[in-house]
Structures are given as structure tokens and as C-alpha cells.
Amino acid sequence: MTYDTIIEGGRWFDGTGAPSALRHLGLRDGIVVAVSAEPLEPGPGTRVVDARGRWVMPGMVDIHTHYDVEVLEGPGLDESVRHGVTTVLLGSCSLSTVHVGGVDAGDLFGRVEAIPRQHVIAAVDKHQDWKTPTDYVAALERLPLGPHLAAFIGHSDMRTATMGLDRATRPEVRPTPAEQARMERMLTDALDAGFVGMSAQQLLFDKLDGDTCRSRTLPSTYAKGKEMRGLNGILRRRGRALQAGPDASHPQTILTQALKSIGLPGTRRKPLKTSLLSAADVKAIPFVIHLMNGLAGAVNKVGADFRWQHLPVPFEVYADGIDLVIFEEFGSGAAALHLTEKIARDDLLRDPDYRAWFRKDYETKYGPRVWHRDLFDAEIVACPDPSVVGKSFGQVGVERGTRGNPVHPVDAFLDLVLEHGTAVRWRTTISNHRPQVLKKMAQSPHVQMGFSDAGAHLRNMAFYNFGLRLLRHVRDAEVAGTPFLSVEQAVHRLTGELADWYGIDAGHLREGDRADLVVVDPTRLDTSLEAYAESPVEQYDGLPRMVNRNAATVPLVMISGQVVVEDGVPTALLGTERTGSFLRIGQRVAPVVPTPAPTTVPVAQPA
């Protein structure tokens, strides 16, 4: 047997959770054709990769991204691929670009996902030649995709395209019977095209950008029971997934979502596969994580198919001035973010009545919330005034006080924002700060590893390598003699478990599987995974994106048997030649055949 590539002597994981073993893998035409305990014989043109001392595993699956815009102009999606992700899901949080045009897409994505609105509009208007989900899939596959894609259809996308953004965001307006029927047809068409399901949203601090409906919540948040029953009924009957975000300010919506997932044995009511945002160990409410896990376990025992999405690393966020989505969760913060003009915003931040309002919101420490609202737990990492760097806003307030009377942390924060604007950069950790709780959640069968938000919040967070960071925690615990997951289990959680639940052809590395694989150097699962770096996003006018740079950890990534990352660096192939496909639910997907090199035909010379 001849091989295009042989991966020699690595510790091989097949993505099912089965025991790993030292194996040699033979690849041909983008397929794993041999997994052997004995060395394989290379041919004259065989590429041989020495994987001794390294892990060879399936490419990871990222179930929560907002790459819907970036993929149009940068289809290689190298920030995820370079960290071992070979399959990404688009269309999270009710947002997709299947039906809306550029301006509506800009209003939907710009503020809530912190993707520059003007670039959203430009990218969608430039590329949108599709009218149906089937057309959309075809348009994606005409791009030189790096990773494989799967997708949700966004409820806010469908609602906006059907009702218009203004009517879709008015609380008194309900869809007409014709509009309801149209949304249900849109959903059916998407499922027929192979989408994994629908995403919806109830979270009330997800706000619209633009001028027409600025600061209203996303269209999906206005949907009532009848509308959702019609859409969820289609998902339930088809066995497709609902990805949703409950309204954290009204905890009963979490219970409602969990109960809706329950099916009734012996009846036509199937379970509603539900993946909910998110299982987070929130600093502000430390007990809630245990309630989340208990609720999932309870409903799954009585016929639900319910999962929490979970980020298995500390949720550290950065902000430039006041530009951070966590301020949307209370009135004074949302009022500041509503204003786009610097002069108007600065006037607001100076106003004594506004400051009193902000202080009151800040000091309200009880009730559902995401941000801990502690400016002593917010470190300044960059500022034109070097004397404040490395300090918290609370510390700055203490130092700027007089006669033992510190400046209130809110006033210290607002003073620095007024003085330096977005040049004052700071960070805090809002959740997942307790290692022992993270370990317990990683063991829970009721959570899915994901929620990276890749492609969004470009200046606020970087979780592109969340899978590698989980592997590091697992390996460190194993070395310390205190394991909480085996490496096999961890790999399964990041690969085959996710692919199987969503019903897509990914996440496995066995004979006959497509050759989407990652080689990991376990000795480099170290603190480099946490390092902060920035990289300009070319298609967003060079906006500096927060990224991870741990090249030595991932020596090789292959998609469809093609090398797309080597020595931690994307190859020229990534984003110029298509290696990825759209993964339609329930279908095997063949590897992408490389474009053959052009043949030079001699031209006869005139006599």
C-alpha cells in the first residue's frame, strides 16, 4: 500500500475515548487508510512525520463561534486552526448572515459581538449572492475554506428578514400568521440544507448597533411562547439542536429552557436537544454553578437532552476604556455604550447625576449578574499615565484621595476613561476562577466544551486555544498524581463527543475517517498557552486582535490530509486553497481534493 503521508510513532487518540496507543498512521487521498502497531513502509513520494513523544489526535471541534463575517474575507480562520481546531460552528446566539443584508447584519453583530459594524456591512454586501440556506452553503464552499464548517440558523436573522428590524424589536409586535409561517419555512429550509439546528437568544444585555434601533435588544429576545413553540417543534421533530442563551436577569428562564428539553416517552414529543449558555463559575454568584449542573442532571434523568456550553479556562476579559459588553447588564453602563460620539459620551461621564447613578448600579451586589462589580479586581495593564499601570481602579482611587478619604472606585474609573479614553486598557476575570470547580465541570456529562466566541470580541478576549488549555490542566493533574480526567477522556470531550451530539462528520481519527488531525507536543502544554499577544486583522483595517501564540505546542495540523499548520505556523495553503467543507448533519463528507497544478502545454514556434 502506498501513502501520501505517514505519521510515525505518536501516541494516537481516536476521539472516542478509547485507550490511546503508540501507532503509525498512513494517509492517502485525505483518508486515514492505516493505523498500525508496526512501522509503515514509505514510498518515493511519501511525507514522513516523526511524531514520537507527541500526541496524534483528531482535529478539535469549536461549537461556539461568531466567524460568520470573518469567514467571508478570511476563510482560512487561522487563529483557530493554528491551535488544532479543524471544525467550527457558525451562527451562534441567534446571529447568522443567511437572510439579512449588510446593514441589518452590521446592526445585529456590531455591538453585541464587538465586530466593527462598517466591516460587517462591507463583507456581507460584497459576498452575499445567496438567497436560501442551500445557496449560502454553496457560497461558503466556493471560498478557500481552511477548517470545516457547520452552522446554526440564527433566529434574529430570520426574524429580522421576515419582520424588518424595527418591527422585530418592538415588544408590542407579534409576527402575523404569514410571518410565522415564513420563519418556519426558513428554519425547515436550513435543516434541509444540513444545518445542525437553530440558535436563539433571551439575554437582555445583547444590544443592537446602528442608528435605527440602537440599544434595543436582539430580535430573538422579543419572541413569545407561540412563536418559539412553532420553531422548537420543528427542531424537536427533526432531532436538531437549539442553541440558546437564557435571560440571566430572570433565572426562571433557565428553568423553563431546561424543562422544554424534556421529551415524553411513548408520545410524539421527542426531547428538544438543547445547548445553553453557559456553565460558568461566576465570581459574582459563586453557588450558581452547582445549581446549573444539578438542574441539567435532573432534567436529563427524566427524558431531556440538555447540555451547558462551558469554557474550561478562566474567563479573563480585557477592555479599552468603558467599551466592554459587561457594562450592558446595568442601566448606567448601557447608557454610556448607547452613545457613539466621544463628546456626548464624555459629557455624560462628567455629569454628577450620571456618576451617582453609576455608583448606585455598581454597589448593587445582589441579584443575577455576570460582572462582579469590583473595581479593586480590575487591573490596569496599559495607560499613557505609567503611574497607574499594574494597579486596580480601586487602588488608584485610594491613592488619589485626600485626608484619608479615597476617591470612589467608580469615580477613579470614570476619571481615567475621561482623561485617556480607550488608551486605558484593563483586565479582570469574571468567572471560572476556581481550579477545583473547573475540574468538576470538566467531568460533568451535562456540559459541552466550547463557548470560545472565536471571531468576536476581538479586543476583549482570546480563547482560541481553549482545547489546548484543557489538555494542559489534564496533563498537569496526571503528572501530579491527582487526575480528574484521563487524556483520552479530555480528547473525546473536545472532539468526537461534540461531533456525535451535533451529528456531523468530524472528531474521529480511525481507519476510514477523513484525515483531520493535530499533532500536539505534550511537553509544551505549559504557561505559554496563557500568554497575551496581539495580531492585526487585515480585513478589519489592521484592528489588533487579542490572540494566543504558542506555536511550539502544535507542530502540525492537517485538514483533509493537507498540511495547513507546520511548526505552529499556518502554511501558504491555509486560506488560499480549500481544505474544509460544509458539514451537513448526518452525512459523510469526503476530503477536499487539492487543485491540481496547471499543466504547461508547449506552444509550437513559428518556422
What's residue 558's pLDDT?
98
Coil/strand/helix, residue 132: coil
Report the 3 state secondary structure along 349-376: HHCHHHHHHHHHHHHCCCCCCCCCCCCC
pLDDT of residue 265: 79
Percent of the chain residues past pLDDT 70, beyond the cut: 98
> What is the Cα–Cα distance from 559 to 85, expressed in whole angstroms?
10
**CA distances (Å), 508 to each of 18, 31, 87, 309, 493, in order?**
11, 12, 12, 21, 11
Q: Nine-digit cell at 92?
A: 451562534
- pLDDT tens readout for residues 28-87: 999 999 999 999 999 999 999 999 999 999 999 999 999 999 999 999 999 999 999 999
- Tens digits of per-residue pLDDT, 380-420? 999 999 999 999 999 999 999 987 899 999 999 999 999 99
Mean pLDDT, rounded, for 507-513: 98
Grade residue 250 by pLDDT with cuts at 50, 70 and 90. Answer: confident
Q: What is the pTM of this model?
A: 0.95
What average pLDDT does the segment 93-115 reach?
97
Confidence of residue 248 (pLDDT cuts 50, 70, 90): confident
- Answer yes or no: are the C-beta atoms of 281 and 275 closer than 8 Å: no
Tell me the β-bridge partners of 461. Answer: none
Residue 267 has pLDDT above 80, yes or no: no
- In angstroms, the CA 543 to CA 31 distance is 38
Rounded to 5°, angle at Cα 371 from 166 and 210: 25
Burial class, 265, CB count within 10 angstroms (exposed 0-12 / middle 13-18 / buried 19+): exposed
Q: How far is CA 113 from its chain centroid? A: 11
Neighbour tally for 388: CB within 10 Å: 22
Confidence bin at 607 (pLDDT 50/70/90): very low
Q: Please spell the DSSP secondary structure of 550-573, one letter per residue.
A: -GGG--EEEETTEEEEETTEE-TT
pLDDT at 595: 67
From the list 82, 147, 96, the residue with the least C-alpha distance to 506 is 147
